[in-house]
Amino acid sequence: MLNNKKVILSFDLDNTLINNRKGIINSFNFALKKFKLGKINDFQIEKMIGLPLDEMFSKISNKNTSELVKAFREYYGKKGIYQARLLPGIKIKLEEFKAYSFLMGVITSKKQEMAEKILKILKINNFFDYVIGETEDRRILGKLDPSIKLILKKKYPEYRVIIIGDHPKDAMLATNLNCPFIGVLTGNHSAEDLLKYKEKETIIVRSVKDITIEIINTLIK
């Protein structure tokens, strides 16, 4: 028993549950090519995965980001979305968590409808009780939008949330929600990067498949 607490495990998507680097890189470069901005290094794009698209494009171009985002989604919706793969051990681990009656959700910088589609394509959508992503109301601040806290508090007032992700924005989200954080190292950020934004109530593991019930129990006090 987990101290008789009701628990929600809330996952990031890219580099936490899935590897969609190929789809994102191809979509990003498609947008750059469309506007004759030139291809950039793959690693430079990978380092930005997890940020909202507007923010990604603003780091490498002064062009109107809305046009670049539209071009990105043009390719991604047709091809890039199908280039996603589950990271090793994810489905087995989700099944384990479900057996313990945890609620599970996804909070992502991706467009919400696109995130829901990816989960269906990869056949893991039935594990999740909610998906929170970018909408017209949550476009600028992404994961740091205050409405996320209100949504979770309203829908799950008796539950303790644990945020799980690979990006500093996930650590910042956990800080904003005042909840525990499990950082995974399957992305492009080190343990030190994650701990800069969330030091207390934080455990760092190599990947989601390394999260144990004991670790969860440690964070739920």
What averages of pLDDT result for each successive group of 10 residues across the chain (221 residues)? 74 96 94 90 88 89 89 93 96 96 95 95 97 88 92 94 97 96 96 94 98 94 74
The domain of 45 spans 21-83
Same domain, 133 and 207: yes
132: which strand partners?
Answer: 107
Is 34 part of a structural domain of the chain?
Answer: yes
CB 111 within 8 A of CB 134: yes
Quote the pTM value: 0.90
Same domain, 34 and 108: no
Same domain, 60 and 89: no
The first and second tokens of residue 122, run together, are 């990869």
For CA atoms 24, 29, 32, 37, the dihedral sign is: positive
For residue 122, the SS3 value is: coil
- pLDDT of 1 reads 45
The first and second tokens of residue 137, run together, are 């109301």
Owner of token pair 């644990």: 162
Is 1 part of a structural domain of the chain?
Answer: no
| Count of domains forming the chain | 2
Pairwise CA distance, residues 50 & 207, whole Å:
16
- pLDDT of 2 reads 54
CATH code for the domain of 125: 3.40.50.1000
CATH code for the domain of 61: 1.10.150.240
Decide which of 36, 61, 83 is a domain's last residue: 83
The first and second tokens of residue 55, run together, are 């923010």
Is 75 part of a structural domain of the chain?
Answer: yes
Pairwise CA distance, residues 108 & 135, whole Å:
11
For CA atoms 87, 90, 91, 94, the dihedral sign is: negative
Instruction: Provide the H-helix boundaries in 47-138.
Output: 53-58, 65-78, 90-99, 112-121
Same domain, 99 and 161: yes
Q: Among residues 120, 128, 132, 121, which one has the least CA distance to residue 94?
A: 128
Decide which of 55, 83, 111 is a domain's last residue: 83
Run of H or E residues at 171:
helix 168-177
